[in-house]
């Protein structure tokens, strides 16, 4: 339809408006409205102002005399929205209040038209404009304006809120403190229909927090908001809930009003339950800004109970909750922990948009001022989420700006507003890393502007950026459980939205635990089994393996026969062969000795065309390799230029990455029980003498003629290159293997806690259990099932045959059935033997040595293990409270230990589970094979503190010189299977003995007994009488006569 002149255009607009108001049927009204909307769309939004179209629609909706006009005006509004969409959205939002009022119109067709127009408008509004919509909906609920709204309008506002929540859960969660009071007011409305709609809406908005702990109580929480008398019974139900999920802002917005109200109750039971809930809830608040926003409301009530509660128990619990509030960040009644503003306000964002529009066009028509305010609201929300991707802003802002800005000026307007708002944000957030991201050197190979990462129900990263450049080496740092390995795995699996695909940017994951091929294959076959390398010539594979140190002998081995260090080098070789653009290195120094770590550092530093993303707890390695640090902060990735030391200089809180002493975590190990016959901490409790061991199938022994001993005071580091026999030595000590020659002696009651090099093998069969379930399973029978299931504890055919051996006793042949007891016998033990087919009265006692001479080593060992476990568990209660406390002592959160499956734990958390399980039976000796693998620096500091204070023996393999030097005065160095000891031994018979002290001790007089003195006097008298009778030389009296 062509319009030739302004007069014709005016006439056509007038005719269409008249038709909209007077047409006899809704279909004709709709047709006229659509024609008018298309006319405005073709000629531009200025027609709205020129002809006052929206004002005339609004006047029609308020014509109380004509229902036809009211319906026509609403249909006209709806047609404009359907045709022009976002271009007219800010203007129509000003009329939503009128739409809601017409929900109470007398005419059903008007009500229906009002509902249609409202739904169309709300469905158009983006989530980022939530704060522009909410005031209108809250006003529609009658909140804050004297409850002047009719009940149909209230229901309409509640339903629109419920509808919008589905599209904007995050933004609704942020606004819950403003929404909940308004909806709560409707819950108490005398009109049943309003209360029902309010309950439904409240259930919807309260579910946005996503907290599974309170989800099942939402119904009670919602009813409690409308009926304060339900507070006690709601608190009672919550008191039976164990809070384990992270507590965010929406959760606190729901819980804090209830807890504040409950702290004013008179019932001591309710008060006690409330302070306990507060304590547990606040422990799970991770974000200090969230804590500062909500928790100060609880502080006065908790402080009052801590000071004035009638019962001492409540005062103690309240003081504990008060300290938790302080630790969480809710320390004052201020709105922010430090009193500073960090977010860009709507007013500031609006001013920036207005400035950009005025600069581009020279003026801003007052008719379009609502657009500027609307865009300011969206921009402020983008700033809150830290979504600073200019392309996204251009895409979202353009439809609104088309209404009043020249098309050619739109990119400039958006760019100017973006820069001003971004600069303001960065000036208030000094930790913002955008400048660092943009200042990287090298070719950009990956730029993800906005992505989030979750593991199960736990959000690890929220709306963060990742930009990688070729040749840069990024150290990925964060606490255990932050999600570092999860991010690497997600990148490699192509699960990070916006990350280039493998055909664009190839990634290679180097993870010790990711070995997917059959480990029984020979080395070359193992590498060739990789899907990406199957077409690679075997000669190239072999050359690459030789380049990383594999010789002929090792190339003939299977992958499973390699030591931990060589397995890691094998994974590195496989990644190198894949010619990846990005190497994803997950703990690459685990199991590598010093020489191999140096080789890896040199290799990575020489790669100018390969980008590396590295997770490591080796501070020296990160210092020598990294050019950038990516740090987990508040669910964002922050980029810092330089290596780890440069990062620590600008982020002092990360000093624990450098110094074990800086750790704020302290582990506590249970005190070992007394060993019979061991009265000195320096007396030997374990000895190996001239032991040689060769693995089946190998021609060369892994250990030659090793001799060593340990006492309770021993702190020994076992060091040496990869494949030198360190783990073999450890296995001899723990009984994992038996030497072909030589002897191993252990105190019969000795209990050893063993954390293997491949620590996770303890847990691999129990990934569906929680740590608590695993500990209960492991010790449920009164002994350590992990010990009982060792290969060396299995009975061989020869050992079973030995049990049939007949033994002569009291003139008859007898066969041993089992051992029933053990007692001390001088410097050894004797065992009670139950004979087969004999009553208990015929039981015999044999010494340990006699049983061993008869060949019953396995039977004695099995009995000793059971007795050792029984003694260790004698004072242990395998109950949930005791297990939770034990895990807490080892540095694992008790709630994680009780409720999180081990398949969901990070590597560091799994290591803590293994250590805790090994220490449960009050062991006397702790053996740690590569304890620094997977533990972060904080946890390593805690482990070091526990080892220093513990009263038992500690033997460890570690390539971390810092960790070893801080703890171990004695070292056993293994080179090609031969043992060399260095340092000061803590065993008496191997220490340098002071001969003078020994002589002094021997010469010390021993006080004689009364009978001895009497006998001495009689001998002296007899000698004196003999001299008087016989004469001659008189013998002198001495002490020895």
* H-only helix segments in 53-144: 53-61, 67-84, 89-93, 96-101, 108-124, 130-140
Q: Phi-psi bin for 471: left (phi > 0), alpha (psi -120 to 50), beta? A: left
pLDDT of residue 992 exceeding 50: no
Residue 789, number of CB atoms within 10 A of its CB: 11
* Residues 264 and 399 both lie in one domain: no
Residue 276 placed within a domain: yes
pLDDT of residue 208 exceeding 70: yes
Among 57, 92, 124, where does a domain finish? 124
pLDDT band at 788 (very low <50, low <70, confident <90, very high): low
CATH number for 561 = 3.40.50.300
Structure tokens at 15: 């005719």
- Mapped onto helix, strand or coil, the DSSP state of residue 493 is coil
Report helix angle 176-187 to 151-165, nearest 10.
140
DSSP state at residue 331: -
Among 379, 403, 429, where does a domain finish? 429
Residue 691 placed within a domain: yes
* Residues 318 and 221 both lie in one domain: yes
The burial of 218, by beta-carbon neighbours within 10 Å (0-12 exposed, 13-18 middle, 19 or more buried), is given as middle
pLDDT for 2? 45
pLDDT of residue 527 exceeding 60: yes
pLDDT for 90? 92
pLDDT of residue 663 exceeding 60: no
Residue 178 placed within a domain: yes
pLDDT band at 414 (very low <50, low <70, confident <90, very high): very high
Residue 8 placed within a domain: yes
Q: β-strand 978-983 against 970-975: which pairing, if any?
A: antiparallel
* Residues 87 and 6 both lie in one domain: yes
Backbone angles phi, psi at 263, to 5 degrees: -70, -10
pLDDT for 152? 92
pLDDT for 342? 67
pLDDT for 120? 93
pLDDT of residue 388 exceeding 50: yes
pLDDT for 556? 77
Q: pLDDT averaged over the chain?
A: 82
Structure tokens at 391: 């392309």
Q: β-strand 444-455 against 458-469: which pairing, if any?
A: antiparallel
- Residue range 10-61, pLDDT digits in tens: 888 888 888 888 888 888 888 998 989 898 888 888 888 888 888 888 898 8
- Residue range 132-143, pLDDT digits in tens: 999 999 999 988
Average pLDDT over residues 969-980: 88
Cα separation values, 607 from 17, 600, 603, 990, Å: 72, 11, 7, 50
- Mapped onto helix, strand or coil, the DSSP state of residue 551 is coil
Q: Domain span at residue 853?
A: 797-872
Structure tokens at 322: 């008060």
| Tokens 């293990």, located at residue | 865
* Residues 268 and 327 both lie in one domain: yes
Residue 791 placed within a domain: no
* Residues 601 and 465 both lie in one domain: yes
pLDDT for 332? 45
pLDDT for 797? 75
* Residues 645 and 726 both lie in one domain: no
Contact 409, 360 (CB under 8 A): yes
Query: What is the domain count for the chain?
Result: 9
pLDDT of residue 521 exceeding 80: no
* Residues 191 and 220 both lie in one domain: no
DSSP calls for 36-57: HHHHHHHH-THHHHHHTHHHHH
pLDDT of residue 485 exceeding 70: yes
Report helix angle 218-226 to 249-262, nearest 10.
50
Mean pLDDT is highest, among 194-208, 467-481, 843-857, 906-920, for: 194-208
pLDDT for 3? 44
Does this model's pTM top 0.75? My answer is: no
Residue 789 placed within a domain: no
Average pLDDT over residues 401-425: 90
Q: β-strand 507-511 against 582-586: which pairing, if any?
A: parallel
pLDDT for 441? 77
- Residue range 863-873, pLDDT digits in tens: 877 777 676 66
pLDDT of residue 993 exceeding 50: no
Among 124, 140, 162, where does a domain finish? 124
Mean pLDDT is highest, among 582-591, 669-678, 912-921, for: 912-921
pLDDT band at 781 (very low <50, low <70, confident <90, very high): confident
Residue 146, number of CB atoms within 10 A of its CB: 7
Contact 624, 614 (CB under 8 A): no
Burial 930-968 (b: 16+ CB within 10 A, else e): bbbbbbbbbbbbbbbbbbeebebbbbbbbbbebbbebbb
Residue 792 placed within a domain: no
pLDDT for 934? 62
* Residues 981 and 856 both lie in one domain: no
């Amino acid at each position: 339809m062509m319009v030739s002149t302004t007069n014709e255009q005016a006439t056509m607009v007038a005719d269409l408006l008249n038709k909209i108001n007077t047409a006899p049927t809704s279909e004709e009204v709709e047709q006229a409205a659509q024609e008018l909307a298309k006319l405005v769309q073709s000629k531009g939004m200025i027609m709205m102002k020129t002809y006052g179209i929206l004002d005339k629609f609004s006047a029609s909706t308020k014509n109380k005399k004509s229902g036809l006009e009211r319906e026509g005006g609403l249909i006209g509004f709806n047609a404009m929205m359907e045709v022009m969409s976002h271009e007219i959205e800010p203007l129509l939002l000003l009329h939503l209040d009128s739409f809601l009022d017409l929900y109470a119109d007398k005419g059903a067709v008007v009500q229906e038209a009002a509902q249609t127009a409202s739904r169309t408008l709300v469905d158009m509004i983006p989530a980022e404009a939530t704060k522009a919509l909410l005031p209108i909906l809250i006003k529609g609920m009658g909140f804050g304006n004297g409850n002047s709204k009719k009940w149909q309008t209230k229901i309409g506002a509640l339903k629109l809120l419920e509808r919008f929540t589905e599209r904007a859960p995050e933004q609704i969660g942020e606004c819950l403190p403003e929404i909940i009071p308004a909806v709560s007011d409707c819950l108490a409305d005398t009109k049943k229909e309003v209360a029902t709609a309010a309950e439904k809406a409240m259930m919807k908005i309260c579910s946005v927090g996503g907290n599974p702990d309170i989800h099942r109580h939402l119904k009670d929480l919602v009813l409690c908001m409308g009926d304060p008398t339900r507070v006690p019974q709601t608190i009672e139900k919550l008191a039976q809930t164990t809070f384990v999920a992270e507590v965010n802002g929406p959760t606190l917005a729901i819980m804090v009003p209830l807890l504040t109200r409950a702290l004013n109750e008179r019932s001591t039971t309710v008060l006690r339950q409330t302070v306990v809930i507060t304590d547990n809830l606040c422990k799970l608040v991770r974000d200090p800004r969230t804590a500062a926003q909500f928790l100060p409301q609880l502080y006065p009530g908790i402080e009052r109970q801590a000071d004035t509660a009638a019962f001492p128990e409540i005062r103690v619990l309240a003081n504990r909750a008060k300290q938790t509030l302080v630790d969480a960040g809710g320390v004052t009644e201020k709105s922010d922990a430090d009193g500073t503003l960090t977010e860009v306000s709507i007013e500031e964002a609006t001013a920036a948009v207005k400035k950009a529009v005025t600069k581009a066009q020279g003026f801003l028509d007052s008719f379009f001022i609502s657009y500027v305010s609307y865009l300011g609201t969206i921009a402020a929300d983008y700033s809150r989420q830290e979504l600073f991707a200019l392309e996204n802003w251009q895409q979202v802002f353009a439809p609104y700006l088309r209404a009043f800005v020249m098309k050619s000026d739109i990119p400039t307007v958006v760019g100017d507003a973006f820069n001003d708002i971004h600069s303001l944000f960065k000036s208030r957030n000094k930790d913002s890393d955008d400048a660092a991201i943009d200042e990287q050197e090298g070719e950009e190979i990956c730029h993800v502007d906005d992505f989030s990462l979750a593991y199960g129900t736990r959000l690890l990263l929220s709306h963060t950026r990742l930009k990688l450049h070729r040749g840069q080496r990024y150290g990925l740092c964060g606490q255990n459980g932050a999600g570092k390995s999860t991010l690497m795995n997600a990148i490699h699996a192509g699960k990070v939205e916006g990350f280039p695909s493998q055909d664009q940017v190839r990634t290679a994951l180097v993870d010790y635990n990711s070995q997917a091929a059959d480990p029984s294959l020979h080395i070359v076959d193992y590498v060739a089994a990789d899907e990406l390398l199957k077409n690679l010539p075997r000669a190239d594979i072999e050359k690459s393996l030789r380049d990383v140190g594999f010789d002929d002998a090792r190339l003939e081995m299977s992958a499973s026969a390699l030591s931990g260090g060589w397995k890691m080098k094998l994974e590195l070789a496989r990644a190198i062969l894949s010619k990846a653009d990005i190497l994803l290195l997950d703990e690459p120094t685990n199991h590598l000795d010093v020489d191999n770590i140096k080789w890896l550092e040199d290799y990575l530093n020489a790669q100018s065309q390969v980008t590396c993303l590295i997770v490591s707890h080796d501070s020296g390695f990160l210092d020598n390799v990294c050019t950038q640090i990516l740090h987990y902060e508040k669910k964002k990735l922050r980029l810092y230029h330089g290596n780890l030391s440069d990062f620590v200089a600008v982020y002092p809180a990360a000093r624990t990455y450098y110094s074990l002493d800086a750790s704020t975590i302290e582990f506590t190990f249970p005190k070992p029980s007394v060993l019979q016959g061991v009265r000195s901490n320096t007396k030997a409790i374990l000895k190996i003498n001239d032991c040689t061991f060769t693995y089946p199938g190998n021609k060369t022994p892994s250990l030659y003629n090793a001799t060593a001993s340990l006492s309770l005071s021993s702190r020994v580091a076992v060091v040496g290159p990869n494949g030198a026999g360190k783990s073999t030595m450890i296995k001899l000590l723990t009984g994992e293997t038996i030497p072909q020659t030589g002897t191993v002696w252990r105190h019969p009651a000795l209990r050893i806690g063993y954390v293997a090099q491949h620590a996770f093998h303890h847990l691999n069969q129990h990934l569906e259990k929680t740590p608590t379930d695993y500990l209960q399973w492991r010790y449920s029978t009164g002994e350590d099932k992990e010990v009982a299931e060792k290969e060396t504890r299995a009975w061989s055919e020869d050992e079973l045959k030995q049990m049939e051996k007949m033994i002569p006793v009291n003139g008859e042949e007898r066969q041993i059935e089992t051992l029933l007891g053990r007692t001390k016998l001088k410097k050894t033990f004797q065992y009670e033997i139950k004979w087969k087919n004999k009553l208990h009265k015929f039981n015999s006692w044999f010494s340990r040595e006699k049983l061993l001479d008869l060949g019953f080593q396995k039977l004695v060992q099995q009995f000793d293990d059971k007795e050792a476990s029984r003694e260790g568990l004698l004072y242990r209660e395998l109950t949930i409270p005791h297990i939770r406390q034990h895990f807490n002592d080892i540095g694992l959160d008790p709630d994680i230990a009780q409720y999180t499956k081990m398949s969901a734990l990070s590597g560091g958390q799994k290591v803590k589970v293994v250590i805790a399980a090994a220490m449960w039976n009050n062991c006397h000796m702790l053996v740690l094979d590569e304890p620094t693998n997977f533990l972060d620096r904080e946890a390593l500091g805690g482990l070091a503190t526990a080892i220093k204070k513990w009263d038992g023996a500690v033997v460890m393999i570690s390539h971390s010189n810092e960790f070893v030097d801080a703890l171990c005065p004695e070292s056993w160095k293994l080179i090609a299977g031969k043992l060399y000891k260095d340092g000061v031994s803590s065993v008496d018979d191997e220490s340098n003995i002071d001969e003078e002290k020994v002589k002094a001790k021997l010469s010390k007089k021993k006080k004689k007994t009364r009978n001895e003195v009497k006998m001495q006097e009689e001998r002296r008298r007899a000698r004196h009488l003999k001299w008087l009778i016989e004469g001659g030389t008189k013998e002198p009296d001495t002490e020895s006569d």
